[in-house]
Structure 1
Amino acid sequence: MSNAFDDLFAANADYVRDFGLAGLEPVAARGLALVTCMDSRIEPLGTLGLKPGDAKILRNAGARVTDDTLRTLVLATYLLGVDRVLVMPHTRCKMASVSSDDEVHDGIARTYGVDTRSLEFNTTPDQRAALRHDLERIRHHPLLPADLPVSGAVYDVDSGRVTPFEE
């Protein structure tokens, strides 16, 4: 019987043959933490001219600054060389195309029969307001340095352009 992951393990065998990241330090060489969406149309390193080891990449649905994102930023700031944070949601995001978490919960229940109401999806129809809110969560978190540079930008999935967020 074929394993659902055989293709990935075979690809890894090819990757190992040319592996060049041995000895890479665990710190963010360029001091960046990037919070972005899990959307597979985003290639965070190439998008920002980075290479492996340059940044800590935090990905989740909608590029939202959740409690877990904040926990990770605290660790990255004090232990992994992060000295600046960029939050980068994107255009045509599914989490910004619905009016509420209830809409997502109802759709999943209707289509798959699964009750997801124990989860918060942090959907928002106003992506700019959500980004502004998320930037403020980082800027005012009591465990992060008060002078930590924090900025936002929006990635366009159709052009690859990153546009700085004007607050």
Structure 2
Amino acid sequence: MAHHTHEHNSEPPEAGHVHEWVDDSVDARDDWARRRRKDIPNDKQLFVLACMDERIPIEEVLGLELGDAHIFRNAGGKVTDDVIRSAALTLQFFDTEEIIVVNHTDCGMMSAADEDIVGGLEAAVEGDIDDVDLDPALPELNIGDASIAEWVRMTDNIDEACAAQVSYLENHPLIPDVPVTGYVYEVESGHLRRPGEHIGEEISERV
């Protein structure tokens, strides 16, 4: 059953039923404002993990509108501890029933070697980056004994990385058994494809 959004009903009211039209609008607004308190899930019951890259129109390529999904974006669209935290909450308590991962070509996480990134961060803090408090607001959510080099680890192959993110989510004990699907967004074509399916190569080569 589809849930109302915050938008007003665009259809004009029928004669003799204006009060019903107004009541529907008031109820929809109330549902939108208090959907968490009313246990109303997002409209598509969907959690999306995507890269933060500004070229990926997540809502457009997935056919989403405001209110349809919980969308988590980070550098590289990688499954981090906070992705697990957020996905577990929406899946366990907000009735979300599906996960989609969107990685993309020409990702900034593929643009430098790990050692170069670590060196740049060390130069920024003028010291050992392992001594930096990564999350002073929520120290209990920090990465513990993990190395900073692993924390900022680059990506070598975006198709393999996308498949790996799907696998991490599918196999994590805090993530229930729901469909997890991964796609690669091609910034050069503006379309999604499945990991490993390079259509351009296939149609440009002789079979």
Which of 66, 70, 85 is the aligned partner of 1:56? Answer: 70
Are the aligned partners of 2:109 and 2:154 in contact in 1 as well (CA < 8 Å)? yes
Are the aligned partners of 1:98 and 1:123 in contact in 2 as well (CA < 8 Å)? yes
Distance in 2, matches of 1:52 and 1:116, equals 42
- For residues 59-138 of structure 1, the aligned pairs below 5 Å read 59-100=73-114, 102-110=115-123, 112=124, 114=126, 117-118=129-130, 119=148, 120-138=151-169
Q: Which has the larger radius of gyration?
A: 2
How big is each residue's C-alpha offset from its partner over 1:12-49, in whole Å with a ceiling of 9 and x where there is no partner? xxxxxxx8484423522112111001111122112211
The percent identity for this pair of structures is 31
Are the aligned partners of 1:105 and 1:116 in contact in 2 as well (CA < 8 Å)? no
Aligned length: 146
Distance in 2, matches of 1:83 and 1:116, equals 42
Which of 34, 37, 42 is the aligned partner of 2:48? Answer: 34
Task: Tell me which of the two structures has the higher relative contact order, counting C-alpha pairs closer than 8 angstroms and 6 or more residues apart.
Answer: 1
How big is each residue's C-alpha offset from its partner over 1:64-107, in whole Å with a ceiling of 9 and x where there is no partner? 0111101111101012221111111111111122232x221213
TM-score scaled by length of structure 1 = 0.76
Are residues 115 and 133 of structure 1, via their aligned partners in 2, closer, same or farther at CA, if it must alter by over 3 Å?
Answer: farther
Are the aligned partners of 2:105 and 2:158 in contact in 1 as well (CA < 8 Å)? no
Q: Per-residue deviation at 1:162? A: 0.8
Are the aligned partners of 2:160 and 2:195 in contact in 1 as well (CA < 8 Å)? no
> Does residue 151 of the first structure (1) align with residue 181 of the second (2)?
yes
Considering only aligned residues, what root-mean-square deviation do their CA atoms show, in Å?
2.4
Distance in 1, matches of 2:189 and 2:128, equals 34
TM-score scaled by length of structure 2 = 0.62
Tell me, what secondary structure is at the counterpart of 2:59?
Answer: helix
1:66 partner amino acid? T
